[in-house]
Structure 1
Amino acid sequence: MAENTEVVVIGGGYAGVMAANRLTRRDDVTVTLVNPRPSFVHRIRLHQLVGGSHDAIVDYREILAERVRLVVDTATRIDPARRAVTLASGEGVAYDYLVYALGSGSAGPRVSGATEFAYPVATLEEARRLRSVLEAAPATAPVTVVGAGATGIEVAAELAEEGRAVTLVCGGVLGPYLHPRGRRSVARQLARLGVTVLDGPGVEVTAVTRDAVRLGDGRELPSEVTIWTAGFGVPDLAARSGLSTDAMGRLLTDETLTSVDDAHIVAAGDSAAPSGLPLRMSCQSATPLGAHAADTVLDRIAEAEPATIDLGFFGQCIGVGSRAATVQLAAGDDTVKGFYLGGRIAAKIKARAMRDLVHRLTDEGREPGSYTWKFKDAKRRERLQAMRDEAPAAR
């Protein structure tokens, strides 16, 4: 009888849960999921938690395969030589293969006063803290949201729909990912909710105080609650463990998602940087990357050659309150197109996407290996080749 293979998955987000569930395809694989929280965080609903319309959590018993063992703890160090993970509790977990799926969180703002007086929203704890602050603030208190990516737009819209006086400070353009047509759609929807949008030159935030936000053009905005959504960072566990990372701290892998340092470590989701050319941080890429990471591990156990990643994007769906959204279409290589959907139809698509994402994880837990993805990036190999061609000149 073949020996049992121990696989440890660090991180219980979209990528980690998908990987853990998919790994149960083999009866001779024992899967342990290490996560600091006892509940799954439905991260793309955190703006709804801030707005008070959803708790953004799901019981792991609803989405994890029965054979996955959940350890509620935090990984503090990886020892590749011993193939072991040290936990904050002092316990150690041994592995034959490790899936690194820590995800991302808030990036430390480099603006005076932002750390002290602004509230990030990238984690469950941050969103809950912000919700408590908002509940304690007067309904008329001015609220400023800094950062006009998808998170900033969705948070601003939720709070405006709640009746708050919200200013969205873009620090550049509104929705930088969007095509100009999609951007105009979002701007119209925000205007209907009464959100004041500040974009263009001079509107970058230069300082945050307890009750104001200062802009590069000299203006000072009254702000009783300042919310920081500009930028994401990743945990430094890989770097602290002596593994190769990119400049942002994402684990460097090859195109099979295998660490460039160790064939027994595979990465997925926001903390992975395949070939130094990471995909856009999103649940849209995290879920298939989690599946692919599991497939790579299973292939190695079977002594088969792992496949290279082949996945792309459809675009981006941004909710603007409960009754409107904008769905921006894109090519597989994440290049936006001029076509978008807006209004109530897009809101229904957004709502369904949020529901379906959890359903995909649940379905994979019940039937491991059933999840597939259809969006491909036909141009990735061209970009990789271009990077290789440029490498000698860069040295």
Structure 2
Amino acid sequence: MSIATRVVVVGGGYAGVLAANRLRRRTDVDVTLVNPRPQFVERIRLHQLVAGNDDAVEDYATVLADSVKLVVERAERIDLATHSVRLASGVTLDFDYLIYAVGSTAPVPAAVPGAEFAFPLGELEAAQRLTAHLADIPMQAPIVVVGGGLTGIEAASEFAEAGRSVTLVTSALGPSLASGGRRSVAKRLRKLGVTVVDNDTVTRVQPDRITLRDGRELPSAATVWTAGFGVPTLAADSGLSTDRLGRLLTDETLTSVDDPAIIAAGDAASPSAQPLRMSCQLAMPLASHAADTVLARLEGKEPGNLNPASVGQCISLGRRAGTIQMSHFNDQALPLHIGGRLAGVIKESVCAGTVSFLAKEARKPGSYFWPRGGQRQKNLKRGTVDV
């Protein structure tokens, strides 16, 4: 009688769920998913949760294969010597392989004076706190969104469309976009009444205002922080090698440089110390590749190298418009975009399709596919992959 291979997946977001489902391509693999929450969080909809037009969660029964065991706990340490994971309850889970898919966070930097008065928008609980706070202040009260990346743009648009008075403060609006896509975003923000303070930074947060670099103060009944990403510290706390942000260092198969039994997926992976852009769009191909690496090893084969291709960036600008920034396969923006209502429809179909992809993979493991040919391996040899 054969003994099932035990795989523990740490993290139940987009990457963790997809990897867990895909591992079911083999019936002799026993998969356990560890996640601190009992529901799947649609992180790409958290700004909608705050605006009141989506709950941003799905039941795991919708997106996770029935044969995957869900453990609602927080992982506290990975023990390399015993190949086990210690949970917050004190329980340990042994593994033959571990997929590290803890995702990313979006904390307010502690170095910012008054950081405790700002509301991050990177996790469910933070979004719920912001929702409760907004319920206690008038609709006309001024809100400041800090950060001009995709999350900040989407949040500012959603809040303004809901009738809020919004100011967006950023060092650069849409830095990952081409000039045409950036103009498309700026035009929609103006139409929604969002005031954009560009080429500036917030140096202090207070309960009712923020301070800019030049000393100016802006009123703010709620300061929403969307600038920058971080990652959970589980890998570093466990003595695993990480990059400067705490992402797990791996080779190009997504295998940890410290232990061949540990494979990374999603935002917390740093292949060759030159990670891909943190995003749902790239987290899911990484998750598929991580699962395929494990499956290849179980079949006695050499796993392939990572080489996903990006096709663009989808931005919602409220419920009635959006911007789709097209890109080269290597994720560099092209001078080509789609704007307006059509882009909004496309963005919504992408969000809905993401959950559908997970559900389909749960029903039919191996069905998820993604564009390949991002030239990553050639770029690595040339030293041109962006960090």
Q: When the two structures are superposed, what TM-score results if normalisation uses the length of structure 2? A: 0.97
Q: 1:387 offset after TM fit, Å? A: 3.9
- The runs of 5 or more residues in structure 2 that have no matched partner are none
1:352 is aligned to: 349
Q: 1:362 offset after TM fit, Å? A: 0.4
Q: 1:111 offset after TM fit, Å? A: 4.7
2:165 is aligned to: 165
1:6 is aligned to: 6
Superposition pairs for residues 296-311 of structure 1, below 5 Å? 296-311=293-308
Q: Secondary structure at the match of 2:359?
A: helix
2:311 is aligned to: 314
Q: 1:88 offset after TM fit, Å? A: 0.4
Q: Deviation string for 1:27-64 (max 9, x for gaps)?
A: 11000000000000011000100111100000000111
Q: Report the Cα distance in structure 2 between the residues aligned to 1:273 and 1:58, rounded to whole angstroms.
A: 28
**Alignment-mate amino acid for residue 7 of structure 2:** V
- The runs of 5 or more residues in structure 1 that have no matched partner are 389-395
**Alignment-mate amino acid for residue 49 of structure 1:** L
2:125 is aligned to: 125
Q: Report the Cα distance in structure 2 between the residues aligned to 1:366 and 1:208, rounded to whole angstroms.
A: 47
- Which of 335, 340, 343 is residue 338 of structure 1 equivalent to? 335
**Alignment-mate amino acid for residue 91 of structure 2:** E
Q: Report the Cα distance in structure 1 between the residues aligned to 2:142 and 2:81, rounded to whole angstroms.
A: 53
| Structure 1 residue 385 corresponds to structure 2 residue 381 | yes
Q: 1:375 offset after TM fit, Å? A: 4.1
| Structure 1 residue 80 corresponds to structure 2 residue 88 | no
The answer to whether the 8 Å contact 1:108/1:233 transfers is: no
Q: Secondary structure at the match of 2:82?
A: coil
Superposition pairs for residues 236-255 of structure 1, below 5 Å? 236-255=233-252
| Structure 1 residue 270 corresponds to structure 2 residue 267 | yes
Q: Secondary structure at the match of 1:369?
A: coil
The answer to whether the 8 Å contact 1:119/1:130 transfers is: yes
**Alignment-mate amino acid for residue 249 of structure 1:** G
CA RMSD of aligned residues (A): 1.1
Residues 66/299 of structure 1: CA separation in 2 closer, same or farther (3 Å cut): same
**Alignment-mate amino acid for residue 383 of structure 1:** N
The total of aligned residue pairs comes to 384
Q: 1:102 offset after TM fit, Å? A: 0.2
Q: Deviation string for 1:331-369 (max 9, x for gaps)?
A: 011110100000000000000000000000000000001
Q: 1:108 offset after TM fit, Å? A: 3.9
1:65 is aligned to: 65
2:193 is aligned to: 194
**Alignment-mate amino acid for residue 141 of structure 2:** A
Q: 1:110 offset after TM fit, Å? A: 4.6
| Structure 1 residue 97 corresponds to structure 2 residue 97 | yes
2:32 is aligned to: 32
Q: Secondary structure at the match of 2:366?
A: coil
Q: Report the Cα distance in structure 2 between the residues aligned to 1:129 and 1:108, rounded to whole angstroms.
A: 14
Q: Report the Cα distance in structure 1 between the residues aligned to 2:323 and 2:351, rounded to whole angstroms.
A: 14
Q: Deviation string for 1:258-304 (max 9, x for gaps)?
A: 00111100000000001111110000111111111111111111111
2:145 is aligned to: 145
Q: Report the Cα distance in structure 1 between the residues aligned to 2:306 and 2:49, rounded to whole angstroms.
A: 34
Q: Deviation string for 1:73-114 (max 9, x for gaps)?
A: 000000011010000011111101000000001134155334
The answer to whether the 8 Å contact 1:111/1:206 transfers is: no
1:392 is aligned to: none
Q: Report the Cα distance in structure 2 between the residues aligned to 1:119 and 1:113, rounded to whole angstroms.
A: 14
Q: Report the Cα distance in structure 2 between the residues aligned to 1:336 and 1:221, rounded to whole angstroms.
A: 33
Q: Secondary structure at the match of 1:93?
A: strand
Superposition pairs for residues 170-189 of structure 1, below 5 Å? 170=170, 172-189=171-188
Q: 1:385 offset after TM fit, Å? A: 1.5
Q: When the two structures are superposed, what TM-score results if normalisation uses the length of structure 1? A: 0.95
The answer to whether the 8 Å contact 1:111/1:207 transfers is: no
Q: Secondary structure at the match of 1:348?
A: helix
Q: Secondary structure at the match of 2:25?
A: coil
Q: Report the Cα distance in structure 1 between the residues aligned to 2:307 and 2:75, rounded to whole angstroms.
A: 29
**Alignment-mate amino acid for residue 101 of structure 2:** A
Q: Deviation string for 1:103-130 (max 9, x for gaps)?
A: 0011341553342110001000000110
The answer to whether the 8 Å contact 2:108/2:118 transfers is: no
- Identity of aligned pairs, percent? 56
| Structure 1 residue 369 corresponds to structure 2 residue 373 | no
2:277 is aligned to: 280
**Alignment-mate amino acid for residue 183 of structure 1:** R
Q: Report the Cα distance in structure 2 between the residues aligned to 1:373 and 1:162, rounded to whole angstroms.
A: 35
**Alignment-mate amino acid for residue 191 of structure 2:** R
The answer to whether the 8 Å contact 2:113/2:203 transfers is: no
